[in-house]
Amino acid sequence: MSFAHQLNILSSVLASTAAGWRGGAGRAFFKQPEQRPVLFDIENCPYCRMVREAATALHLDLDIRPCPKNGTRFRAQAIEVGGKLQFPLLQDPNTGTVLYESGAIIDYLFRAYANRPAPATYKKTPLHTASSLLASATRATAGMRVKPSRAPEKPLALWSFEISPYSRPVRELLCELEIPYSLHNLGKEHWTEIGPAVQRLKPGPYVPKAGGKREQFMQKHGRVQLPFLQDPNTGAELFESEAILSYLKANYAI
């Protein structure tokens, strides 16, 4: 890992700390809806972050439409869907719901996909908002402003969870390059998964919960390591955040 990337990850750890480490754990057993809800999103927007935290808690996969400042690829579409340029914007094709305002979106997601109100940890409060604002400040403008890029023919796919310090820089670059992607939330499912992969609290090899999303991922890929990127345009499959960032820059940045 290069020194520059180490500093990037350290800053990302600070952002996760500022955000209270919300968006790290998800429900072990969860049935995805027929269609992924669409989130028009700015990665470093504090209000968008709160919605993505809730999605991780629900293990809910999303289709992300990046809308960085001065972006041109999805901002017009966002206006067509909702009528104004405001983020986050959720469009749920399963129910026909279109929503602005992070608090309303969070409550909707928990009611629609967990049959309950948003829990206190994820409900929008002044403290929650302040910590998310601090997390955004920690990352400065990363994941906020558009960078010139080539549009992919097909959306990419990213396996991630919101508070992962290694996943965040990848999501930031995807946003800056306006690359649409399916976000597969793979939150931790048990307290023994806390901490780095080499320092699990539970001794012995890592065994994900039976029947959970992490078990499905492990059966397919032989390990649970995030972020993981798939690009159907090239057939590329990549672990390791630094390798993914280099790939995105080489293939899509101008």
Residue 195 scores a pLDDT above 70: no
Q: Which of 95-104, 163-172, 210-219, 241-250 has the lowest mean pLDDT?
A: 210-219
Domain-embedded: residue 23: no
Q: Which helix (H) or strand (E) holds 4?
A: helix 3-18
- Number of structural domains, the chain? 1
> Other CB atoms closer than 10 Å to residue 205's CB: what's the count?
6
How far apart (Å, rounded) are the C-alpha atoms in residues 64 and 8? Answer: 23
In the predicted model, what is the mean pLDDT of residues 121-133?
Answer: 95
Domain-embedded: residue 165: yes
Domain-embedded: residue 8: no
In the predicted model, what is the mean pLDDT of residues 64-75?
Answer: 97
Domain with residue 154: its CATH number is: 3.40.30.10
In a 3-state reduction of DSSP, which class is residue 208?
Answer: coil
Domain-embedded: residue 121: yes
Domain-embedded: residue 31: no
Domain-embedded: residue 170: yes
Domain-embedded: residue 235: yes
Cα 127–chain centre separation: 21
Listed in order, strand segments (DSSP E) in the chain are 38-41, 62-66, 89-92, 97-100, 156-160, 181-185, 228-231, 236-239
Q: Cis link prior to 227 (omega < 30° from 0)?
A: yes
What Cα–Cα distance (Å) separates residue 161 from each residue in 5, 48, 80, 140, 205?
19, 14, 29, 21, 21
Residue 191 scores a pLDDT above 90: no
How confident is the model at residue 192, as a pLDDT? 67
Domain-embedded: residue 16: no
> Model's pTM, two decimal places?
0.94
In the predicted model, what is the mean pLDDT of residues 187-204?
Answer: 68
How confident is the model at residue 239, as a pLDDT? 97
Q: What is the 3-state secondary structure (H, E, C) of 125-175?
A: CHHHHHHHHHHHHHCCCCCCECCCECCCCCCEEEEECCCCCCHHHHHHHHH
What is the extent of the structural domain holding 184?
37-189+208-252
How confident is the model at residue 233, as a pLDDT? 98
